[in-house]
Chains A and B, each alone.
Chain A
């Protein structure tokens, strides 16, 4: 194993040489966002020029029947070199080049002048805590942007016949909203809280691959901007699923869609892989599998799905790009391709994707419930089994998206069965949640309110999921607002509510500042009521026959649609309230919350808030599980200052054992 196991050496993230000295440079000479922007602009111009050069010699044929004169090559190459320029400007390649030239690597914090202020958040850093905060701010920005598109959709649907937007602009808005939410919100909990908290929760001073982790974040702003740039290219009219032949036929905006989604796929793979290895290899001594916090279990399951599913997405997007640029025909049936190929590839990613969006939520609520119920987690092993079960089964359900599409009918009972089976491990989460509340002493803090709302919302989302998994019922519900309401209940009602709970719960840890409780309660109640008032009627709208992604609908559904739209505006207002609370608490009032404001036993709360540079003064030795509430006189969660010999013995033990076993074999 490549992990440093000698406790004598200081573990420097990124393998930096602790003895090297760093030259101090002026701030504008150091790589940061401003150099990255310069690199991106230069890269885009170069790629665009190169694409035009390549394109100029060849006639373009559009197999799907799009505009024959459009040049997709320059757009895609422009984006490719823009990303390379962006990363070069951030200094991502510096260490690689230095290592190839045989130079000593410098500690990143030394090189950047040891900055601890705001400037480090605009740099490519190796500190997982900085990356976590970067992700948090990024995710809030992406979420709010995509949310504004949702507001635009609901504005258009206020009337069945009078239009705010033209039909083309409306389809663009629908596509932008869906794609931005589905691709960027993939990391909404894993990015900020996974990266920040997992090392703290497992007692590690670092993550396994800090460069990949930072890279995974710095790809997200590019993916976000590339996706938005589709609007300037005329948008894309395919929705977030991007089905060919429509995608092959569509204008240049779909290049931006495919590139952004593929890029985000790479980011997701890196983020997942890093945390996967971190959880497996970087646990503190005593952090057995039976003592891992539920949040880490949730992140572990998510990371497995990300690492295994997202490559399929990247492949599908790459094929779509080659279809549109090099004139391949993977997805053009007339030329030997198949639209089903894309649908299968997309949903082989897309269905684990929706569990990628659910599992971190499970982790958050199961982590928080014992803290505010003041009780141990009920049936820890069942909870872990539920998360593992969802992770495994999620790879075997994707064809339920294709029940009406005309693929092999004999596969249908199988996929109906697997889809319904996945409700068994999901049900475990409810068993654990309900068991934990038995005879508890429930404290109604803001994070707890969001957790409880998660169970309410996910119950409705899950039960409606059983309806769409049944093929006879699905024939009516497929492609209608019923499905749309179903997945908003699981993703928005599940994931985003869990995200809010996590924000209120862990911001004291991450920033040393507690968000305002009164504003938080207003935010919760407004969001909870507006959310249900928005999406509950949509089940009825869908059953009444309103298909998704339409800009005109039946007159008799106007009352329900108007109700939904007005509720949606309140829902948007509740997010605004969250932003106000966030800015008010963290920028204006800044009431410090040090220590352990929730009385949690989690390992992350045993170090100071915010944590020191390398998380722990010494690597802790974990003595008991994180949920041992109600056990008076039980062992503390961890020994934060273990004697020197303990660590050496713990690290040497299994290594020596496995070496001996290998020698015997």
Chain B
């Protein structure tokens, strides 16, 4: 819903010009509100500025606040004015004027709201395209892609890095197919590189929400869900499950970090060699896994080093964990 500054009142002439008063109050209030928001709050609004996706989401929220503040202000100013000025006075038992409508105001309202709404839809579409899906899960066949072709064999800086997120009750694990396909609990990303998250699940629907990165993609069993983001700042970020997934949904979180490229290269090298004998036992990298087909490794080197793994059949046998 939107509003337009109501021009001159439908009944002119004697008495104060209510329309002009409302217009002036509205103008002052909305300019002040927009200025206050734009300078004080907007730069600090969640989800922050840690990645390209987060930056675009923050932009979208800010622009919509700047656009909707005058609308809210108009409705509130009008109501406030009406409730004070046009209240019923003691002893006045007359009815109000019999106004059934006002063609110009109605047309103006419909035109202005339609323009605002269509502008918002166009803005949202451009923003979605421009930000390569804005960090939202795009399913197995994404169309809003960042530049550069993905090679699963190896990763060179400048091309998208592929990170597979495997969700299950109630844990996220991460697989790096471009580095031999090792699997780990740690989510480490290089700075200023496009990352392609391939999100899937082994059991029920989860949602991979890397809050500060502005990435949210549902993890569906047997489906690959792709989302893109480019981390632009060093530091840690939070990962939470954003789709109710059972008993310990509230406890399904961990954290990841964005590091420099050199640190990332050395981390992947170290992890790759550290995990080598586990990686050998894992099934080949695939976009989805079927936990009832993959043999579960419950002993030997995997257990010793890591405990169980997700791609290797899950932390639990398929009929577990028993739900309440």
Interface residues of chain A, those whose CB is within 8 Å of chain B, are 62, 64-68, 167-168, 170-172, 174, 234-235, 237-239, 241, 243-246, 249-251, 333-334, 339-340, 373-382, 403-410, 412-413, 416-417, 420-421, 423-424, 426-431, 434-435, 437-444, 452, 455-456, 459-460, 462-463, 466-467, 469-476, 478-480, 543-545, 547-553, 628-631
Contacts of B72 in A (CB 8 A): 459-460, 463
The answer to whether B217 touches A379, judged by C-beta atoms less than 8 angstroms apart, is: no
The answer to whether A438 touches B10, judged by C-beta atoms less than 8 angstroms apart, is: yes
Q: Per a CB cutoff under 8 Å, which of A423, A435, A479 touches B101?
A: A435
Q: List 22 A-B contacts (CB under 8 A).
A: A67-B323, A167-B248, A333-B221, A374-B94, A382-B101, A413-B121, A413-B124, A416-B125, A428-B109, A435-B101, A437-B83, A439-B96, A439-B97, A441-B96, A452-B79, A463-B71, A470-B123, A475-B134, A476-B47, A476-B54, A478-B136, A543-B46
Encode B105-141 as 1/0 by CB contact (under 8 A) with A. Answer: 1100110011001101101110110010111111111
The answer to whether B95 touches A630, judged by C-beta atoms less than 8 angstroms apart, is: yes
The answer to whether B205 touches A339, judged by C-beta atoms less than 8 angstroms apart, is: yes
Q: Per a CB cutoff under 8 Å, which of A168, A239, A442, A456 touches B247?
A: A168
- Complex: how many Å from CA A630 to CA B249? 59
Most B Cβ at <10 Å: residue of A238, A241, A381, A470: A470
The answer to whether A406 touches B82, judged by C-beta atoms less than 8 angstroms apart, is: no
Interface hit among B56-64, B184-192, B256-264, B273-281:
B56-64
The answer to whether B82 touches A438, judged by C-beta atoms less than 8 angstroms apart, is: yes
The answer to whether B53 touches A475, judged by C-beta atoms less than 8 angstroms apart, is: yes
If A171-B249, A471-B124, A545-B211 touch, does A67 touch B322 (CB 8 Å cutoff)?
A: yes
Contacts of B11 in A (CB 8 A): 439
The answer to whether B86 touches A455, judged by C-beta atoms less than 8 angstroms apart, is: no
Q: How far is the CB of A421 from chain B (nearest CB, A)?
A: 6
The answer to whether B220 touches A440, judged by C-beta atoms less than 8 angstroms apart, is: no
Contacts of A550 in B (CB 8 A): 249-250
Q: Per a CB cutoff under 8 Å, which of B78, B140, B319 touches A434?
A: B78
Contacts of B144 in A (CB 8 A): 409
- Complex: how many Å from CA A473 to CA B45? 12
- Complex: how many Å from CA A588 to CA B138? 60
- Complex: how many Å from CA A380 to CA B60? 36
The answer to whether B249 touches A549, judged by C-beta atoms less than 8 angstroms apart, is: yes
The answer to whether B88 touches A442, judged by C-beta atoms less than 8 angstroms apart, is: yes
The answer to whether B96 touches A426, judged by C-beta atoms less than 8 angstroms apart, is: no
Number of A-B contacts (CB under 8 A): 334
Q: How far is the CB of B283 from chain A (nearest CB, A)?
A: 16
The answer to whether B204 touches A245, judged by C-beta atoms less than 8 angstroms apart, is: yes
The answer to whether A476 touches B46, judged by C-beta atoms less than 8 angstroms apart, is: yes
The answer to whether A473 touches B57, judged by C-beta atoms less than 8 angstroms apart, is: yes
How many chain B residues touch A (CB < 8 A): the figure is 109
Smallest Cβ-Cβ distance to A479: which chain B residue: B242
- Complex: how many Å from CA A540 to CA B273? 44
The answer to whether A462 touches B1, judged by C-beta atoms less than 8 angstroms apart, is: yes
Smallest Cβ-Cβ distance to B139: which chain A residue: A406
Encode B197-236 as 1/0 by CB contact (under 8 A) with A. Answer: 0010001110101010011111011111110000000000
Q: Does B245 interact with chain A (Cβ within 8 Å)? A: yes
Q: Report, nearest first, the 8 A-B pairs whose CB atoms are least far apart.
A: A427-B1, A406-B225, A550-B250, A333-B222, A479-B242, A375-B96, A472-B134, A630-B95
The answer to whether B322 touches A426, judged by C-beta atoms less than 8 angstroms apart, is: no
The answer to whether A167 touches B68, judged by C-beta atoms less than 8 angstroms apart, is: no
The answer to whether A479 touches B243, judged by C-beta atoms less than 8 angstroms apart, is: yes
Contacts of B124 in A (CB 8 A): 413, 416, 420, 469-472
The answer to whether A478 touches B216, judged by C-beta atoms less than 8 angstroms apart, is: yes
Q: Does B99 interact with chain A (Cβ within 8 Å)? A: yes
The answer to whether B102 touches A435, judged by C-beta atoms less than 8 angstroms apart, is: yes
Q: Does B151 interact with chain A (Cβ within 8 Å)? A: no
If A420-B124, A437-B86, A472-B127 touch, does A237 touch B53 (CB 8 Å cutoff)?
A: no
Apart from the given pairs A234-B324, A416-B124, A552-B250, 14 other A-B contacts in the complex at a CB distance below 8 Å: A379-B106, A406-B138, A409-B139, A437-B83, A438-B82, A439-B97, A441-B88, A459-B72, A463-B71, A472-B57, A475-B57, A475-B216, A549-B250, A551-B250
The answer to whether B2 touches A404, judged by C-beta atoms less than 8 angstroms apart, is: no
Smallest Cβ-Cβ distance to A169: which chain B residue: B324
If A334-B221, A339-B220, A630-B95 touch, does A440 touch B106 (CB 8 Å cutoff)?
A: no
Encode B73-101 as 1/0 by CB contact (under 8 A) with A. Answer: 00110110011001111001011111111
- Complex: how many Å from CA A544 to CA B240? 12
The answer to whether A379 touches B113, judged by C-beta atoms less than 8 angstroms apart, is: no
Q: How far is the CB of B206 from chain A (nearest CB, A)?
A: 10
Interface residues of chain B, those whose CB is within 8 Å of chain A, are 1-3, 9-11, 18, 45-47, 53-54, 56-57, 59-61, 64, 68, 71-72, 75-76, 78-79, 82-83, 86-89, 92, 94-102, 105-106, 109-110, 113-114, 117-118, 120-121, 123-125, 127-128, 131, 133-144, 199, 203-205, 207, 209, 211, 214-218, 220-226, 238, 240-251, 290, 292, 318-320, 322-324
If A171-B247, A434-B75, A463-B72 touch, does A424 touch B110 (CB 8 Å cutoff)?
A: yes
Contacts of B121 in A (CB 8 A): 413, 416-417, 420-421
Smallest Cβ-Cβ distance to A459: which chain B residue: B75
Contacts of B88 in A (CB 8 A): 374, 441-444
The answer to whether A66 touches B292, judged by C-beta atoms less than 8 angstroms apart, is: no
Q: How far is the CB of A369 from chain B (nearest CB, A)?
A: 11
- Complex: how many Å from CA A476 to CA B210? 9
If A168-B247, A246-B205 touch, does A631 touch B128 (CB 8 Å cutoff)?
A: no
- Complex: how many Å from CA A476 to CA B125? 16
Q: Per a CB cutoff under 8 Å, which of B100, B133, B223, B250 touches A409?
A: B133
The answer to whether B113 touches A427, judged by C-beta atoms less than 8 angstroms apart, is: yes
If A66-B319, A404-B137 touch, does A479 touch B128 (CB 8 Å cutoff)?
A: no
Smallest Cβ-Cβ distance to B215: which chain A residue: A475
The answer to whether B60 touches A472, judged by C-beta atoms less than 8 angstroms apart, is: yes
Contacts of B46 in A (CB 8 A): 476, 543-545
Q: Per a CB cutoff under 8 Å, which of B109, B113, B125, B216 touches A479?
A: B216
Smallest Cβ-Cβ distance to A462: which chain B residue: B1
Contacts of B243 in A (CB 8 A): 243, 479
Smallest Cβ-Cβ distance to B290: which chain A residue: A334
- Complex: how many Å from CA A65 to CA B250? 21
Q: Per a CB cutoff under 8 Å, which of B53, B98, B199, B290 touches A631?
A: B98
- Complex: how many Å from CA A149 to CA B142? 41
Smallest Cβ-Cβ distance to A242: which chain B residue: B244
The answer to whether A65 touches B318, judged by C-beta atoms less than 8 angstroms apart, is: yes
The answer to whether A245 touches B205, judged by C-beta atoms less than 8 angstroms apart, is: yes
Contacts of B221 in A (CB 8 A): 245, 333-334, 339
If A434-B79, A473-B60, A475-B57 touch, does A439 touch B86 (CB 8 Å cutoff)?
A: yes
Q: How far is the CB of A294 from chain B (nearest CB, A)?
A: 14
Q: How far is the CB of B258 from chain A (nearest CB, A)?
A: 17
Contacts of A552 in B (CB 8 A): 250-251
The answer to whether A431 touches B203, judged by C-beta atoms less than 8 angstroms apart, is: no
- Complex: how many Å from CA A416 to CA B118? 10
If A239-B244, A434-B75 touch, does A404 touch B218 (CB 8 Å cutoff)?
A: yes
Contacts of A381 in B (CB 8 A): 101
Contacts of B318 in A (CB 8 A): 65
Q: How far is the CB of B71 from chain A (nearest CB, A)?
A: 7
Q: Per a CB cutoff under 8 Å, which of B9, B79, B250, B323 touches A250?
A: B323
Contacts of A549 in B (CB 8 A): 244, 249-250
Contacts of B110 in A (CB 8 A): 382, 424, 428
- Complex: how many Å from CA A467 to CA B322? 38
Smallest Cβ-Cβ distance to A431: which chain B residue: B109
Contacts of A421 in B (CB 8 A): 117, 121
